[in-house]
């Protein structure tokens, strides 16, 4: 029987048997059946049900969504004589893969040759869930110290045996001082960087020292400071602007997505529906090597989603200060760049500081301070003009980062963008006073606006005054296409409201944002321990660990125990290849989740070969890969761009997690993951250094992304680089 459903989804089955009388009898209920998770049809091999309540016994199992029909029956066994079995009367029970429903008839047992009959109430519950839902449920209900009673969960396991700790020699595996193993970080560094400083440089100011050379921009800036701030005024001052009114701002039905963060129940994925554009596929890949495996995945994707000039998109941030706008903008910019979309982040505050200095007090931001309002509108127009010019040069997605707190400002931006790009407003709303206080103090600590302020508390007070001035004139977004992130930074839930959102890329953006939060937590990235194929210089394969790799697995287990000893909700993610599973095996006390998406890049027909062998037997492939390692696809295998596409669900899940995660994977996969966190250009991905036996700790939080590296031991043999 064929079944539908996602390959990664699993069916959780809970079977309960209830009978007050059964507690008086010296009998234990069991289950046996046709499916491996139900044991077998041999009653002697039946699976015992666990005591769930005074008169209730249960058994839980997990089967793939595309499972064969599960036929089973109940059997009672004597406590002291398991050979004595009483099988329930009637036909077998069947759990089909299409309906996932079971007939809820009672279980009837004949206790003797007479009329003594025991009737037990039966309840069967089913639910589709992912391995992450299952792991989250274990974290909530099993508290890690008890082995799970759920059978058949092949993708999620827990080691809890104390004998494993003794066997693997934890105490001698690693010294207590983890800092001894810290090595220099070649790319990101460990100090906090103010996110706005990493945004696009204001070229209109840097080129001339004051104004853009563009006459239209000058007209907008000079005229907009005369006091007329109506939307029609900005339209009149733009040379060559399109005649007529802006697009109608007709209200559309809004959709609310309840995140349900922190629920102890099994989570169901939120389903959003978006209008998807019609795509045209041009199968011709240009300017690529001619070898069999060299396919330009990115070029094909560009042609699938239409010409770039038809896909210009501006995300305009809206929100009061200290609401996480810049941090959200930076995350979104990093995500879109990683997916291959040409994206830049323009921060208006950076323009303001360059043009008007960093020593502006709260008075500069008063709504009734005409000079301050004009100056802020001026730099906003400059930033918008820079962004539109960049789009004309080939840019695809611009992130426009400012408060944009009034309709007048937003109308100005829409008029400037008319006919050039689509605008989506992204409004961040936070009502949590504790979060706001934390953000305010962090802002004063990091922002160049307060770099010369020696009295920290005076700086906090000044910022709160600035915030109060913004609150007096703030107008929530009710016009155009918009996304509202409401109380999504507190870690206590939240809501995403969207209006008039359609298309492929906006849909991806919404899906990304609904999974984002600001909860600080570390993500540990490491390659598996040295494998036998590493020793032989062979790529791909599914070999076991060398002696050095086994030693690293023990050191890694000791490291995780010490580093995450207070993080009881952490989890361990591996690929489905045995070298990562074996590396994770000594780690105890945490759920282990296997991701097929974390498997090494598929080398196709070259799997198991050395590079010398490829060069001799397939010289065209060798040269094609050398010319364009990012886009080169192994014959019957993958390219780095293919790997990035299949890793997107992993990135989404890493963003969604609020607890630490240890990812044990492979060189090509970790290059792609690291490039996301470090915001590296795609062209650099194939050459990022990810050494063996080294842990890369990524710290994610409201302060941004930081990195620290720990080298636990040296690699004995050089490794092949896929």
Q: Helix or strand or coil: residue 251?
A: coil
Separation of alpha carbons 588 and 578, rounded Å:
17
- Nearest Cα residue to 95 out of 35, 166, 172, 29: 35
- Nearest Cα residue to 74 out of 115, 119, 21, 140: 119
Separation of alpha carbons 377 and 239, rounded Å:
18
- Nearest Cα residue to 199 out of 437, 398, 434, 422: 398
Evaluate if pTM is beyond 0.85. Answer: no
- Nearest Cα residue to 67 out of 87, 110, 97, 36: 97
Please calculate the CA angle 471-322-339 and round it to the nearest 5 degrees. Answer: 125
Cβ pair 354, 202 in contact under 8 A = yes
Quick one: pLDDT at residue 206?
73
Q: What is the sign of the dihedral through the CA atoms of 478, 482, 483 and 485?
A: negative
- Domain 309-515 adopts which CATH fold? Rossmann fold (3.40.50)
Dihedral, CA atoms, 491, 705, 135, 597, nearest 10 degrees?
A: 140
Per the structure block, which two tokens stand in for 60? 């839980």
Q: Please tell me the number of Cα atoms within 13 Å of 546 on its side-chain side.
A: 16
DSSP one-letter string for 430-469: ---HHHHHHHHHHHHHH-GGGTT---HHHHHHHHHHHHHH
Rounded to the nearest 5°, which phi and psi values hold at 349?
A: -60, -35
Domain residue spans of the chain: 10-157, 309-515, 522-711
Quick one: pLDDT at residue 23?
78
Cβ pair 518, 324 in contact under 8 A = yes
Mean pLDDT by 10 residues, the chain (722 residues): 45 84 84 66 79 83 68 84 81 70 80 83 79 53 44 51 49 64 72 68 67 40 39 35 34 32 29 33 34 39 44 94 91 94 94 90 93 94 96 95 96 95 95 89 89 91 96 96 86 82 91 85 95 94 94 94 85 95 93 93 95 94 94 94 94 91 97 94 94 93 81 73 67
Quick one: pLDDT at residue 606?
95
Cβ pair 690, 697 in contact under 8 A = no
Separation of alpha carbons 588 and 561, rounded Å:
8
Catalytic residue among 401, 530, 607, 707: 401
Catalytic residue among 233, 341, 528, 585: 528
Quick one: pLDDT at residue 98?
52
Helix, strand and coil content of the chain, in percent to the nearest 5, comes to: 35, 20, 40
Quick one: pLDDT at residue 100?
53
How far lies 675's CA from each of 23, 183, 709, in Å? 59, 19, 15
Place of tokens 């307060």: 450
- Nearest Cα residue to 154 out of 459, 648, 596, 559: 596
Separation of alpha carbons 662 and 505, rounded Å:
30
Asked if 371 is an active-site residue, the reply is: no
Per the structure block, which two tokens stand in for 183? 């090595």
DSSP one-letter string for 629-664: TTTB--TTS--HHHHHHHHHHHHHHHHH--S-EEEE
Cβ pair 690, 670 in contact under 8 A = yes
Quick one: pLDDT at residue 9?
58
Rounded to the nearest 5°, which phi and psi values hold at 576?
A: -95, 5
Q: CB-based contacts of 547: which residues, under 8 Å, 6+ apart?
A: none
- Domain 10-157 adopts which CATH fold? Immunoglobulin-like (2.60.40)
* Cα radius of gyration rounded to whole Å, the chain: 30
- Nearest Cα residue to 385 out of 411, 353, 420: 420
Asked if 516 is an active-site residue, the reply is: no
Separation of alpha carbons 374 and 380, rounded Å:
10
Per the structure block, which two tokens stand in for 320? 């009061």
Quick one: pLDDT at residue 278?
32
End-to-end CA, the chain: 40
- Domain 522-711 adopts which CATH fold? Rossmann fold (3.40.50)
Catalytic residue among 430, 516, 599, 653: 430
Quick one: pLDDT at residue 134?
56
- Nearest Cα residue to 707 out of 690, 715, 689, 695: 695
Quick one: pLDDT at residue 82?
65
Matching CATH topology for 10-157 and 522-711? no
Dihedral, CA atoms, 42, 43, 45, 46, nearest 10 degrees?
A: 120
Catalytic residue among 600, 621, 638, 697: 600
How far lies 326's CA from each of 316, 323, 389, 590, 598, in Å? 11, 9, 22, 34, 30
Beta strands 150-151 and 50-53, pairing class: unpaired
Asked if 430 is an active-site residue, the reply is: yes
For residue 48, how many other CB atoms are within 10 A of its CB?
14
DSSP one-letter string for 71-130: EEEEEEEETTEEEEEEEPSSSPEEE-TTT-----PPEEEE-SSSS-EEEEEEEEEEEEE-
């Amino acid at each position: 029987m064929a079944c539908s459903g996602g390959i990664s989804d699993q069916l959780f089955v809970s079977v309960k048997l209830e009978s007050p009388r059964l507690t008086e009898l010296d009998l234990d209920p069991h289950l046996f059946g046709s499916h491996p998770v139900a044991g077998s049809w041999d009653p002697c091999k039946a699976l015992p049900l666990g005591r769930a309540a005074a008169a209730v016994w249960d058994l839980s199992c997990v089967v793939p969504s595309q499972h064969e029909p599960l036929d089973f029956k109940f059997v009672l066994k004597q406590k002291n004589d398991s050979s004595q079995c009483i099988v329930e009367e009637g036909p077998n029970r069947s759990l089909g893969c299409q309906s996932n429903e079971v007939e809820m008839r009672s279980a009837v047992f004949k206790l003797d040759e007479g009329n003594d009959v025991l009737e037990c109430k039966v309840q069967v519950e089913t639910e589709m869930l992912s391995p992450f839902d299952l792991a989250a449920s274990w974290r909530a209900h099993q508290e890690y110290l008890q082995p799970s009673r759920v059978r058949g969960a092949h993708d999620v396991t827990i080691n809890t045996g104390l004998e494993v700790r003794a066997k693997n020699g934890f105490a001698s595996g690693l010294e207590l001082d983890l800092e001894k193993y810290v090595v220099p970080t070649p790319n990101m560094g460990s100090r906090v960087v103010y996110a706005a400083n990493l945004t696009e440089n204001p070229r209109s100011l840097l080129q001339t020292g004051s104004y853009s050379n563009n006459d239209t921009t000058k007209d907008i800036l000079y005229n907009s400071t005369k006091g007329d701030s109506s939307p029609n005024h900005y339209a009149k001052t733009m040379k060559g602007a399109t005649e007529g009114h802006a697009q109608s701002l007709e209200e559309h039905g809004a959709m609310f997505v309840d995140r349900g963060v922190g629920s102890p129940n099994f989570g169901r994925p939120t389903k959003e529906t978006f209008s998807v554009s019609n795509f045209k596929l041009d199968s011709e890949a240009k300017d690529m090597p001619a070898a069999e495996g060299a396919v330009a995945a990115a070029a094909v994707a560009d042609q699938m989603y239409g010409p770039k000039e038809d896909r210009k998109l501006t995300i305009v941030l809206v929100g009061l200060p200290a609401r996480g706008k810049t941090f959200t903008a930076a995350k979104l910019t990093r995500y879109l760049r990683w997916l291959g979309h040409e994206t830049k982040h323009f921060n208006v505050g950076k323009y303001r500081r360059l043009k008007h200095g960093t020593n502006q007090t709260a008075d500069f931001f008063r709504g009734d301070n005409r000079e301050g309002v004009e100056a802020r509108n001026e730099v906003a127009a400059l930033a918008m003009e820079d962004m539109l010019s960049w789009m004309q040069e080939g840019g695809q997605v611009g992130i426009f980062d400012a408060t944009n707190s009034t309709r007048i400002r937003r109308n100005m931006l829409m008029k400037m963008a008319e006919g050039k790009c689509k605008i989506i407003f992204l409004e961040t709303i936070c009502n949590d006073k504790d979060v706001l206080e934390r953000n305010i103090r962090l802002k004063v600590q990091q922002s160049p606006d307060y770099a010369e302020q020696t009295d920290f508390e005076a700086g906090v007070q000044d910022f709160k005054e600035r915030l109060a001035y913004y609150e007096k004139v703030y107008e929530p977004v009710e016009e155009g296409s918009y996304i509202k992130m409401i109380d999504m930074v507190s870690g206590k839930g939240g809501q995403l409201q969207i209006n008039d959102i359609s298309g492929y890329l906006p849909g991806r953006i919404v899906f990304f944002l609904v999974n984002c939060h600001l909860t600080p937590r570390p993500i540990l990235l490491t390659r598996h321990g040295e494998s036998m194929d590493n020793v032989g210089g062979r790529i791909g394969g599914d070999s076991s660990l060398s002696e050095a790799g086994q030693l690293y697995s023990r050191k890694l287990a000791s490291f995780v125990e010490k580093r995450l000893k207070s993080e009881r909700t952490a989890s361990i993610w591996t690929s489905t290849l045995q070298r990562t599973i074996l590396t994770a095996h000594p780690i105890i006390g945490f759920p282990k989740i296997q991701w097929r998406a974390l498997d090494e890049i598929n080398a196709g027909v070259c799997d198991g070969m050395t590079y010398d062998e490829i060069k001799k037997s397939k010289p065209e492939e060798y040269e094609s890969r050398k010319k364009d390692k990012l886009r080169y696809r192994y014959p019957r295998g993958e390219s780095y761009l293919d790997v990035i596409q299949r890793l997107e669900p992993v990135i989404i899940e890493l963003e969604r997690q609020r607890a630490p995660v240890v990812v044990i994977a492979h060189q090509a996969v970790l290059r792609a993951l690291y490039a996301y966190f470090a915001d590296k250009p795609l062209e650099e991905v194939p050459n990022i250094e990810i050494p063996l036996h080294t842990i890369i700790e990524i710290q994610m939080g409201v302060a941004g992304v930081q990195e620290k590296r720990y080298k636990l031991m040296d690699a004995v043999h050089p490794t092949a680089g896929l």
